[in-house]
Structures are given as structure tokens and as C-alpha cells.
Amino acid sequence: MTRRADVLIIGGGVNGLGCAYNLARRGVENIVVIERGYIGAGASGRCGAGIRQLWGMEENVILARESVKIYERLSGELRFNIFFRQGGYLMLVFDEREHELVSKTIPVQNRLGVPTRLLTGSEITEIAPGINLDGVLAAAYCPKGGVAYPYAVLWGYAEAARRLGVEIRVHTRVTHAARRDDGTYGVSTEKGDFIAPTIVNVAGARTKDIAAMIGIDIPTKPVRHEIAVTESLKPFLKPMVISLKKGFYFSQSLRGEIVGGIGDPNEPSSYYTGSSPDFLFRYARALRETFPPLGKARFIRQWAGLYDMSPDARPILGTVEGYEGYYHACGFSGHGFMISPMITKLLAELITTGKTSMPIDTLDLTRFAKGALTRDPYVVG
Amino acid sequence: MGKTILCHCEDVEVEEVYSALEQGFADLETLRRYTGIGTGKCQGKCCLVQTLRILASLARTNAAETKPLTGDPLLIHLPTIRPPVLPLRIADIVEAGETAVAHDKPRIEEERS
Amino acid sequence: MQTADTQRTVTFFFEGRVFRGNEGEPIAKALFTAGVRTLSYSVKYRRPRGIFCARGRCVACHMSVDGVPGVPTCITPLREGMRIEREGYQPFYGPLATVFIRLFPFPAGFYYRMFTRPAWLQRIFLGSLRRMAGVGRLPLDNTSVSPTSGSGRNNPLPVKDAYDVVVVGSGMSGMAAALSSAHHGSEVLLVDECRLPGGHSIGHQSDTELTSARDQLIERIKGHVAVEHRPDIVAYGFYPPNTLLLGSGGPTGMKRVSARSFVFATGANDVVPLFENNDTPGILGERAIRLLLERDHWRPGRKAVVYGAGEALHATVSLLLHHGIEVAAAVDPTDAASAGGNRGALHGVRTFANARIRTAKGGAWIRAVEGTHAGGRERFSLACDLLCIALPGQPAYELPHQAGFEYALSESPIEEFEVMRPVTRFRTTGPEPARDTISFFIVGEASGDSHWRTKIEDGERAGAQAAAAVRA
């Protein structure tokens, strides 16, 4: 039983569904999205859903800035509330090196239209009463950043895509994929086979596995990152608080829960998404140190998801020479959700017109072969 | 005008399950997140089995007109149960003085969701 | 357990009023005695809620204590000078939103589809939802009142980091397993979140053989040289491959322990079936009412209706009568013949067969129940101030599920009997127990068994197998 589609999208996360929606809006028909679990089973449903424009590299700032603009109007467009609360982003600065970094990058962001400013002392506690200022030299604050409810984004895209004729198949796991002799792509799953001339590989941490089946080598690695949530409390924290140095982030969701996590520099690469007690201890300590009143709150759940890490922690987007009709987007290294609207817009442009409204050659897969990679220091968590 | 409460923590009535199913949220995991059932402080201790009974009875009688948007219809299974089993206060964890030592990795590299 | 350590009376403050209560008794009980029965308001419809699970499992009794939000007052001891407040109450906004929600029947997830445009309206809507959400209030001052997760006592943690066998739950099956493992040469850790051993079997039982078997187990556990017994210790989570995270319920300690074999004797949770107003305070599961009566010496009512079947029904009726609570009627969803008719404890108690409760009435506290019997053909209405549910409990699945056990719904013609049961009661991380594998066992009510003889037998057998797995 083979289903022939015009576009087959592998991955039903925020990129897969967003891409399907964008393609359908441009008039593409016969689109099928296949997802191995339930909608949100992957990183899109596990992430902290922070949306920020605080980045170092111009490319990231622009991607994030444009994505924020799309997120701001997405509820109206999809007729589904995505609960994007723009409470701001507060990045705490703990040492001179970081201080130097933000002092250099804030003007870059400002020049590109992102209203970040540097705060000190009581200015910080005004934005976020309760913060412990010990050791905090300053904070970079962007009022336009915020948090969304990731499931709402996924459901909104899914329903809108369906209204436009997209078929979404869940609990459909890919077992084999290959380029066929006639240049189309054949994908076998546990629930049937698919053939399509255009295939979009946006399978999160498993993008590289799908690519490998087809014969493409993507140098990404899955790395577990843990996250925990507290009981819901009356609103008291407006911004998302992050620290690059200490590797943590936390914010208060619309329901009132504090959602956040802390990275582990020693975490090896794996597909494991179980939880650990180590994480609870490290994260609890970081939370209590940074925001002492939170000592009285209680964790009710911890979980984990996978960052799809690329060698330079920057996304991989575009096509692969010799594989016409194949498109991919991966390697988001923990910040895929916040730039997804722009990524899927670029993908849809690339697929339908062959051109993109902003240059994406710096995100091409071939950059790894050329060496000399640059890394944006603003990667967290 | 009494209410039949299914999820005490999030104050979800029974009718909302049927309403969510009609809207296409048939997978337990998405049904939970969409209605809020089992996502509150008790993480489903007071409501999960009652929800599963409803889904099982619908599956048996095939009475559900589900348009699965987001999942296979009416699979009866536990959602992923995660620690902590009971709410755990952050100050208690911190004051316990445990330090992160060797990394806990399972010896068996099985995938767990 | 002595609920009041010294029987000393202390002063406490509730929403500005001064009361006196016994030191060490559950805060919820002290409030009840003082005439306060509504402990919280539900988050959306603001329905009054009161004592419910009595074990720190639900949220009905959560209150703000000395500025700490979400304290489970059913298991937190009263201390001198405590300031207690109900949570989530917004004088103006709350009732307005409640009336609004009650008047309009909104389908599930309506807030995803309302006010999606224009953007400014969406933002206002978002702001309103945010203000309405959340229950407890986190005080932003940095007072260093010691918050408590559980009982607030400084309970001693296990001495070692690693044991041969760890048994979670000191009910009859857990105690039997611990003793059996020790007998077969293992070093055993036995933990339970309750201070009293005995689990579901504590207190009065009409079956004297049960009582004597239980007491013997408790006696043998005491001071056993190879069983380290740590009561009042909560198992917060199981982390593969073999780590159990334990906490003392207070700020003095958490500990990770590992073992070669784990026995989960975690019991079961009360399940309140679905009927109108099933969240009315005064509706208590059989475990809850047993804990209130036996652990806390707290009689929450005078006249009860018991909704249940089988042994649980008999045991609960017997318990209530023993504590001087009148049993107005027994409501049994099975037919009278399989329920054994009016024998034993049910002698003289009016029983409705093929019956179901349809509505609870009362609002802030239950005052009557209505239902149908004779297969739905007849109705009944009973005045009461307690409704005890003695239907099958849900086996506690949290720790076993984290350890890899799968669960399936046990099908039954009576829907209230359907619970999730573990598909297997034993698993090991290799093809069979060996030197580098971990073994897991589920016994007692956690596996779906409820008869006490079976619990002891299963516990003994699992304990022996657990010890054997360690020696493998």
C-alpha cells in the first residue's frame, strides 16, 4: 500500500508542521507529514519554549527577530491561541568575560532592531523582584522575548494545516528511506510506504539517521537535556531568566508553573530521555541561589528531551548536492523552537521558488567540510 | 446543575473528555495536555484510571466518532510517569547537601520516553 | 502513631482568627475541630474542597502555612504559632470569573479558540488567564521559615548507600518480603512514607486472624538485625538502572540508595468513581477514612453511607461501626448474592444491591446522596455526613512504571472495578537474574491482590526470589 505524495515531510514537530502549513498556504497540495509518536512526542513537546532574540551572531539575531514577529501574530493567523507571553528575557551576567560579551553584542542587537538594554542593580530587581543579586554584575534585558506553550503551537499548526488539506500521520515510524532510480524518494514505515519527489527531513535528533538511510552524512549528535516543572503558583515572575555561564534557564508559564532546566557539560551523546536525580540537585541549587523565594516551591515533574547538537551549535538548513528534491533542517542545538517560524518560512520559499528571502548559505551542510567554524556564545541549557 | 469532576487538581469535568475527543484529541498523551487532566499537582493519581475507563468503554462500543488529529484513537496505556512521585520542595533538595557526583547513565542504552 | 506528641495544646492563626489545637496533630484535623471544613477552592470553578485522600496525594487540603504555599495539611503536624490561610482566593476577580464560567458551558480547550484576534484583545485575554491561573502564592520576601515537603519531622535516613534488597512499603506484603529476604541472607532496607507499619491493614479489623498475622509481622520487623526499617521516608522516584531517591519529608535529608533487588509493595490508591458532585467534602476513600480514624483519631462524621463491594465493603462497615459511626446504608454495585447478603459486618445494615451513587448533595460538606438500585429501576435518597468509597483501589504504579513495568486495564462488567494492573509482577534487566542484573518485584495491593493471606504469601515468595537474585 503505497501513498504517493507531492511533498513528504518527515517529522511532526514544530518544523514539520510549520513547514506543512507554510507550503499549503503557498498552494502546494498533496502534502503528507509523518511523525513517529504523538504530536509533541519529540523535542517540540519537551522544550522550555523560550523565544528570545538575545544572540551574538547577526544571523541568529535576524532569524530570531523575524521569528518573534511571526509568533506575535501567529495566534490570529492560525485561529488558535499559542499563548505567547512576551514577559521579556533577562540574561544574568556573572563575570567580566560575560560582561564584555554582552557589552559588545547589545549594540549589534540594537542595530538590528532588537531592543535589548543593559541593566544593573535595582533595575534588575524591578523587572524581576526576588532575584538574588549576589555575584550578578549586570543583566541584558530584552522586553520582546517570552515563552509560548509549545503544544498550542503544534496543535495550532496541525489544525490549520489540516484545514488546508495536509495529511498528518502519527505513530508512523520510518524504517527505511532511499532515493529511487527516477529521483523520487521512497520511505517505508511500520504503517505503509510513501513515495514523493520532494522530501523534507525535519526529524529533530533523528534527522541524521534518516539522512544516513538516504546516503547523506550529517554530523549532528543527540544530547539529553533535562527540565523540571513546579506546581502552579500565582503569577510573580515576568521574564524568562537565563545564565550562559551557569547554563540554566527558568520562566513562569501561563499556568503559573516554573519551567526550567540546567545543562550538564558532561552529558554524553545518546538518545536517552530518562531523568536523573543529579539534575534535580543541580537545578534546585541553581534555582534557589538565583531566586531564593523559589525554595518554597515544589517540583511536581521532571522530564528530558534531546538537543540536536551540530559541531558549531548553529542550524543546518538547505539542500544537498546530488539529492535533488531533498531538503533538511536540523542541528538546532537547543534553540530550534524559537527560530522555527523563520526556518519553516525559508524552507517553504526554498521548496516552492528555489530562492530564500534571506541568505542561508552560512547554514549549509557543506560548511563543516570547509572547517573554521564559528560558534554563537549565546547557547543555553 | 451539579458537576462530575474528573480531574480534581485542574477542575476538569467529565464532559470535557468527550468534547476533546470530538475535537480530535484521541491519544491519551495529547488528551491529557489538551484538557489538563493529570497534569496538575497530583499528576493523575486521582483521575487517570477514571479517564482510562471512559476511553476503554468508548473503544469497546466504538461509540467515539474521533477524527484523530493527533494520535491513534483510544489507546489504553499509562502516560509516561516521571519523578518525583510526590511534590518535592526545592529547599529540601538544596539543604540535603547532595552534590552531583558521577554521572548517572543507565548501563542499558534503551530508549525511554 | 501518637498524633499529639505531648498532648500539649497550642495556639494557631487561621485567616486572622485565633484557635487552639493539639500540638502534632494534622493541621487539617485542628481546623476541622475548630469548625473549618473548607480547606481550599478548586482552581476553575472554585468549588469548596476539604479533607480527601489523607495521605498527601491529592490537593484538596493544600493550604498556605507560614507563607509556604501548597502545604498538605492532612499530614503536616500542627505547631505553635502557625499562620494558616486558604489559597487561591481572589475577592473580586474570583467569583466574577466563576459565575462567568458556570453560566456558559464551555467545551474543552475553549481558551485556545477564543479571542485569537485582534492581537490587543488576545493580549488582554492572556493577561486575564494568567491572573486566574495558579493556586498558591509564593511570597517574595526571603524569610527563612523552613518549608516542609511531608511530615516535617527529621526522620533518620537509611544508613548505607547500597543494599541487597530494598522494599518500598511496609504493609503486610512488604513486611513479609523484607523478612523473607533477610531470612534468605540479604541485607534489607524497608521504607514506608507512613510512620506506622501495616499499610492498608492498620487499625481495627473484624478478622482476628488478620490482626494477629499483621501484628506478628510488625513484631518481627522491630529490631530485626538484617532489616533496616526506616518509616516516614518517602521514595520520590526510581531512576534506572537501580537508584531510588529517598527523602525524609523534611529539610534534613535526601539520599540515593541502590540495590540488586527492589520489591515494590506500594499499595493502592482510593478511586472515587464519577457521579455528580463527586468532589464534595465528606467523600472519603476507605484508605482515607481508615487513616483518619486510626492514625489521627479523627472522626469526620456521625452517619455514613458506604459505597463499595466485597471484602473492602465489609471491612469498612466494620471499621465505622467500631468507631461509633452509624452506617445508614451500604450501596453495592454488584448483586446481593455475590456480595454475600447481610452477613457478618453487614448484618443489620440496609444494603442496596445493583446500586450506584448518582449524586452527592451538600456543597461545603456532604449531607445526602442519591442513587439508583435494582439495576437502575429504583431510586434511593439517604441523609448522611460521610460517604465512604470501598471500591477497588488503583494499584500504585509510579515506581514500578519507572522501573519498566507495563500496565493494562483489567476489564470488568462493572466499570468501577476496572483498574490498571501490572502485566507482570517480576522483571529483571537481563534475560534472567545474574551478577550484573537488577531484579524487580511487585507484591500486595500494588499488584492487584487484596486478600491478606495472598499478600503474605506473595511477599514471602518475592522476598525469597529477591534474595536469590542477589546471590545469582
Q: Measured between alpha carbons, how far is A270 from A288 in angstroms, rounded to an integer?
A: 29
Residue B67 at interface with chain A, using a CB cutoff of 8 Å: no
**Hey, CA dihedral for C225, C231, C234, C235, is it positive or negative?**
positive
- On whether residue B89 sits in a domain, the answer given is no
- The yes-or-no verdict on residue B104 having pLDDT over 60 is no
* Per-residue pLDDT, C346: 77
Q: How many Cβ atoms are within 10 Å of B102's Cβ, its own excluded? A: 7
The count of domains in chain B is 1
For residue A50, the model assigns a pLDDT of 94
Mean pLDDT of chain A, nearest integer: 95
CB contacts of C136 in chain A (<8 Å) are 231-234
Nearest of A176, A206, A170 to residue A189 by alpha carbon? A176
User: What 8-state DSSP symbol labels residue C411?
Assistant: P
Beta pairing, strands C378-383 & A221-232 = unpaired
Whether the domain at C162-269+394-471 and the domain at C283-390 fall into the same CATH topology: yes
Average per-residue pLDDT for chain C:
90
Q: Which residues pair with A174 in a beta bridge?
A: A189
pLDDT band at C90 (very low <50, low <70, confident <90, very high): low
Select the residue of B30, B33, B105 nearest A268 (Cβ to Cβ): B105
The pLDDT value recorded for residue C39 is 95
The one-letter amino acid code at C357 reads I
Alpha carbons within 13 angstroms on the beta-carbon side of residue C60 total 29
Summarised one tens digit per residue, pLDDT across range C31-81 is 999 999 999 998 888 889 999 999 999 999 999 999 899 999 999 999 999
Residue with cell 493494562: C408
Per-residue pLDDT reduced to its tens digit, C272-301? 999 999 999 999 999 999 999 999 999 999
* Interior angle at CA C18, CA C76 and CA C25, nearest 5: 25
Instruction: With residue C426 as reference, give the H or E element that holds it.
Output: strand C426-428
Candidates A68, A72, A75: best to mutate against C (most CBs of C within 10 A) is: A75
Decide if B30 is inside a domain. yes
**Beta-carbon pairs below 8 A across chains A and B:** 128
Q: What is the pLDDT of residue B95?
A: 82
Cβ contact, residue pair B84, A155, below 8 Å:
no
- Test the B interface: residue of C260, C356, C402 with most B CBs within 10 Å: C402
Residues in B touching A151 (Cβ below 8 Å): 30, 33-34
Point out the residue among C126, C137, C245 whose CB comes nearest to the CB of A83. C126
Kindly state whether residue B64 falls inside one of the protein's structural domains.
yes
CB of A308 within 8 A of CB of A220? yes
B34, C59: Cβ pair inside 8 Å? no
What chains are in contact with A, requiring at least 3 Cβ pairs below 8 Å?
B, C
Q: Out of A73, A155, A232, name the one closest to residue C133 (CB).
A: A232
Correct CATH for C9-85 of 3.50.50.60, 3.10.20.440, 2.130.10.10, 3.40.50.12280: 3.10.20.440
Three-state DSSP at A139 gives strand
Domain C283-390 has CATH 3.50.50.60: yes
Instruction: Decide if pLDDT at C143 tops 90.
Output: no
Q: Would you list the domain boundaries of chain C? A: 9-85, 93-132, 162-269+394-471, 283-390
pTM: 0.94
Domains contained in chain A, CATH given: 2-45+151-219+312-370 (3.50.50.60), 87-145+221-309 (3.30.9.10)
Residue whose grid cell is 509481622: C217
The 10s digit of each residue's pLDDT in C181-201 is: 999 999 999 999 998 999 999
Share of chain A above pLDDT 90, in %: 94
CB atoms within 10 A of CB C472: 16
The answer to whether C162 and C259 have CB atoms below 8 angstroms apart is yes
Is B71 part of a structural domain of the chain?
A: yes
Q: Which SS3 state, helix, strand or coil, does residue C153 take?
A: coil
The SS3 of residue B109 is coil
Confidence (pLDDT) at B35: 94
Query: Are the Cβ atoms of B76 and C409 closer than 8 angstroms?
Result: yes
Q: Is the peptide bond before C333 cis (omega within 30 degrees of 0)?
A: no
ipTM of the complex, rounded to two decimals: 0.92
**For residue C106, what pLDDT is reported?**
73
pLDDT of C408 reads 94
Q: Which residues of C touch B8 (CB under 8 A)?
A: 42, 49, 52, 58-60, 279
What pairs with residue A261 in β-bridges? A249
Please tell me which residue of chain B has the smallest CA distance to C157: B96
Q: Does B112 touch chain C (CB under 8 A)?
A: yes
How far apart CA A303 and CA C294 sit, in angstroms, is 37
Give CA–CA dist C184/C180, Å, rounded. 6
Q: What is the CATH number of domain C162-269+394-471?
A: 3.50.50.60
Q: CA-to-CA distance for C65 and C291, rounded, in angstroms?
A: 22
B 13-72: CB under 8 A from C = 14-17, 19-20, 22-23, 25, 34-35, 40-42, 45-46, 48-50, 52-53, 56-57
Instruction: Please identify which residue in the block is written with the cell numbers 555561564.
Output: A245
CA distance linking residue C320 with residue C311, whole number of Å:
14
- pLDDT given for residue C248 in this prediction: 84
Q: Which domain holds residue B14?
A: 5-79
3-state secondary structure at position A80: coil
Residues 50-109 of C with CB under 8 A from B: 52-53, 56-60, 62, 70, 102, 105, 107-109
pLDDT 10s digits, A246-282: 999 999 999 999 999 999 999 999 999 999 999 999 9
| Residue C256 in this model has a pLDDT that exceeds 80 | yes
pLDDT at A365 over 90: yes
Q: Do C375 and C361 meet the contact criterion of CB atoms below 8 Å apart?
A: no
